[in-house]
């Protein structure tokens, strides 16, 4: 900071956004201490109105506006760096970067990010994340029974994998049904003005290891169009959960699962049960690999073929880039009130077991 001769502190314009960033961080930390305030005035107030408006605004545009904006911003940054590479001053580069972060941080929290600090869904629905090994084994056995039954109903053959017959667009349209049915018992999950799109960045998302994302600046839910089709319904419903204001990954998994099994469509229900089953098996494998082998022997071979389809898809897109983005997103989640980072995704198993009981 510079000083004027009058004795007053003068703050050059180039530092003002940096100071604003510091004030924002302090403000968000204070707001995080008052989840009831966030829940009432932001998540169920300002954000609810804003998100419904933004979905209505972008729903009829046939491509992802958010993806285009990201592309333009990245292209602009690359252009500026190349253009000014010879005159690049480290000090001004840092200042410019912090100024950009300040604007990004403000828009992110205003348009969606404060949902990280709302009242946890476990508190509102009186659910617990904790469970015993026996509870996990028993619940997984129930999921296997339901999954096997749905699989046979679809394929009429326990050794054939399920092939979802719908296009991505049809799945987006059918996704509303699950939320409509779910909202009959839980009005807080009401979904208005649907706006879900194939991501233009589906290939990069695949190499980054992500099935989709919510663009916080446009409110569009983005799904990775390259995913194995049998997983596509639940992935879409997960992103919609973010869209209606549930930022936690475990909560979005839980809500997406409830919406999928509430659907009138059997392919959506199958996708939901298989989604939950895979997470349960992963959690068991961490502590009891022998039990997993026992459970796998009870699952229809056609379901295992679907699991293999997913494994092959992700393995075919595995690169060091994925590890970098997983580490980045792990820390991003931890900064935003999800202490378990990427492990937050699998914590929804506790919500499932508690809800079942």
| DSSP character string of 309-357 | HHHHHHHHT--HHHHHHHHHHHHHHHHTT-TTGGGGGGGHHHHHHHHH-
Q: What is the pLDDT of residues 149-173, one digit of tens each?
A: 999 999 999 999 999 999 999 999 9
Task: Say which residues have a Cβ less than 8 Å from residue 143's Cβ, sequence separation at least 6.
Answer: 273, 276, 277, 280
Q: What is the pLDDT of residues 202-257, one digit of tens each?
A: 999 999 889 999 999 999 999 999 999 999 999 999 999 999 999 999 999 999 99
pTM, rounded to two decimals: 0.89
pLDDT the model gives residue 2? 43
- Who has greater pLDDT, 249 or 320? 249
Whether the per-residue pLDDT at 338 is higher than 70: the answer is no
Distance CA 24, CA 68 (A): 27
Q: Work out the mean pLDDT of the chain and round it to a whole number.
A: 89
Q: Which residue has the tokens 């252009």?
A: 79
Q: How many C-beta neighbours within 10 Å does residue 301 have?
A: 12
Q: How many C-beta neighbours within 10 Å does residue 151 have?
A: 24
Structure tokens at 339: 């202490």
In the chain, where do the E strands start and end? Answer: 2-3, 9-10, 196-198, 212-214, 221-223
pLDDT the model gives residue 329? 61
Q: What is the pLDDT of residues 173-189, one digit of tens each?
A: 999 999 999 999 999 99
Whether the per-residue pLDDT at 324 is higher than 80: the answer is no
Of the pLDDT bands very low, low, confident and very high (cuts 50, 70, 90), residue 333 is low
Distance CA 140, CA 135 (A): 8
Distance CA 234, CA 260 (A): 6
pLDDT the model gives residue 6? 46
Query: Computed from CA positions of residues 166, 169, 171, 173, in that sequence, does the dihedral angle turn out positive or negative?
Result: negative
Helix, strand, coil percentages for the chain (3-state, nearest 5): 70, 5, 25
């Amino acid at each position: 900071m510079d000083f004027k001769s009058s004795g007053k502190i003068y703050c050059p314009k180039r530092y003002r956004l940096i100071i604003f960033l510091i004030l924002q961080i302090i403000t968000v930390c204070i707001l995080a201490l008052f989840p009831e305030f966030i829940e009432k005035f932001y998540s169920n107030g300002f954000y609810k109105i804003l998100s419904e408006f933004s979905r209505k605004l972008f729903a009829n545009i046939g491509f992802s506006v958010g993806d285009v904006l990201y592309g333009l911003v990245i292209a602009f940054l690359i252009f500026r760096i190349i253009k000014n590479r010879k005159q690049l001053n480290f000090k001004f580069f840092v200042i410019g970067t912090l100024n950009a972060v300040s604007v990004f941080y403000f828009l992110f929290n205003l348009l969606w990010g404060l949902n990280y600090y709302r009242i946890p869904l476990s508190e509102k629905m009186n659910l617990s994340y904790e469970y015993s090994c026996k509870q996990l084994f028993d619940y997984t056995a129930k999921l296997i029974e339901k999954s096997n039954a749905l699989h046979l109903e679809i394929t009429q053959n326990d050794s054939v994998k399920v092939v979802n017959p719908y296009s991505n667009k049809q799945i987006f349209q059918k996704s509303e049904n699950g939320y409509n049915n779910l909202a009959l018992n839980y009005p807080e999950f009401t979904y208005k003005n649907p706006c879900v799109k194939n991501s233009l960045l589906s290939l990069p998302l695949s190499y980054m290891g992500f099935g989709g994302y919510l663009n916080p600046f446009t409110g569009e839910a983005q799904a990775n169009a390259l995913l194995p089709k049998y997983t596509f319904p639940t992935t879409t419903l997960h992103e919609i959960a973010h869209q209606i204001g549930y930022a936690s990954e475990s909560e979005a998994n839980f809500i997406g699962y409830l919406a999928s099994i509430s659907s009138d469509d059997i392919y959506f229900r199958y996708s939901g049960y298989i989604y939950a089953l895979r997470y349960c098996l992963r959690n068991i494998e961490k502590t009891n690999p022998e039990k997993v082998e026992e459970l796998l022997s009870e699952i229809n071979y056609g379901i295992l073929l679907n699991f293999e389809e997913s494994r092959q898809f992700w393995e075919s897109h595995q690169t060091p880039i994925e590890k970098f983005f997983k580490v980045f997103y792990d820390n991003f989640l931890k900064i935003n009130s999800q202490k378990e980072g990427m492990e937050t995704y699998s914590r929804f198993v506790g919500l499932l077991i508690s809800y079942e009981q």
